[in-house]
Amino acid sequence: MTSQAPIHLATRGSKLALTQTRRVIARLRQCWLEVAFEVVVIRTTGDRVQVGGKGLFTKELEEALLQGRADLAVHSAKDLPTEPAVGAAELLIACYPERTDPRDALALSERLCQPTGAGLEALPEGAQVGTSSPRRQAQLRHARPDLSFVDLRGNLDTRLRKLAQQGLDAVVLAAAGLSRLGLRGLDARLLPLEVCLPAAGQGALAVEARRGDERVLKLLAPLDNHEVRLTVTAERACLRELQCGCQTPVAAHAWLEGEEVVMRGVVASPDGERLVRAQAQGPMKEPQAIGKRLAAELLAAGADRILREIGGRGA
């Protein structure tokens, strides 16, 4: 393969996105010493406008694949719509190489001197918390109705900078992002799954490629993590079955227990007053069926009414 053209990896230009892409390249180089890899930085709609919508952080990367400007695209799995924003028939998720801690984390202001290990309970009454995620807001409102939420957008380092600039008490972030950027000096407390269930695919990377591109698919095959593929497939199947938009307060998380996939799901009203929980499990060879079963359990428990009221189903 030394005489072949280098492999081009499309990615967003944020510090976290570039770090994740470099990690994928490092893994690829371990398997294919003779192959050259080059990063193609692409500015997405989500980077420009920072508003809600499907495929905001993925569409331009997928267009680069379809146009041949890139051979693969590295995404945070939670950013991927349940179907590609463009080119559904031509593209596929070729591998899920890794998954870091899927939980959310609460990054506290330096002015809050709190005991080690204290999490949500460390925040004072009426604390201001930065997050633009309806999922996070709804679940945290349910646990702490006294909290005040401030809409906070931008990439991870931008949101951390605004923690101090805007005088906030805390911001909510994905623990995986903090881990991948090596932000060890930050006072961040993990939120229990019972308090804040993560978004489908959170903590996982997804590498997308063109169907039929045998060279690229062969290169990616050793990186595909079977457990991550099973669990993220189940989570995405649940979202697809719920037919909800990306701005809907919905969470889904799956893990393996022996030979079974176990899943939890949450659908909440935006104000956090109503929160529906459900669980499903089944053979790990049927991840999509388990995801659909969890969605059915949620809908039967009252999620259908919540989703219709907020215009979530089919949005």
pLDDT per residue as tens digits for the range 139-175:
999 999 999 999 988 888 888 888 888 989 999 999 9
Give me the pLDDT at residue 230, please: 98
How do residues 182-207 score in pLDDT, each as one tens digit? Answer: 876 577 889 999 999 999 999 999 99
Highest-confidence range of 22-36, 87-101, 299-313, by mean pLDDT? 22-36
| 79 noted as active-site residue | yes
Residue 271, CA atoms < 13 Å, CB-side half-sphere: 5
Q: Which structural domains are found in the chain, ordered by start?
A: 1-98+204-224 (3.40.190.10), 104-190 (3.40.190.10), 225-315 (3.30.160.40)
Residue 173's beta-bridge partner residues?
Answer: 105
In the chain, the amino acid numbered 92 is L
Active-site position among 79, 104, 213, 304: 79
Residue 131: closest CA among 239, 48, 247: 247
CA–CA distances in Å: residue 23 to residues 18, 28, 33, 181: 9, 9, 15, 11
Residue 108's beta-bridge partner residues?
Answer: 170
Overall average pLDDT of the 123-152 stretch: 95
How do residues 211-254 score in pLDDT, each as one tens digit? Answer: 999 999 999 999 999 999 999 999 999 999 998 866 789 999 99
Maximum pairwise Cα distance, the chain: 64
Contacts of 308 (CB under 8 A, 6+ apart): none
Cβ burial of 57 (10 Å; 0-12, 13-18, 19+) is buried
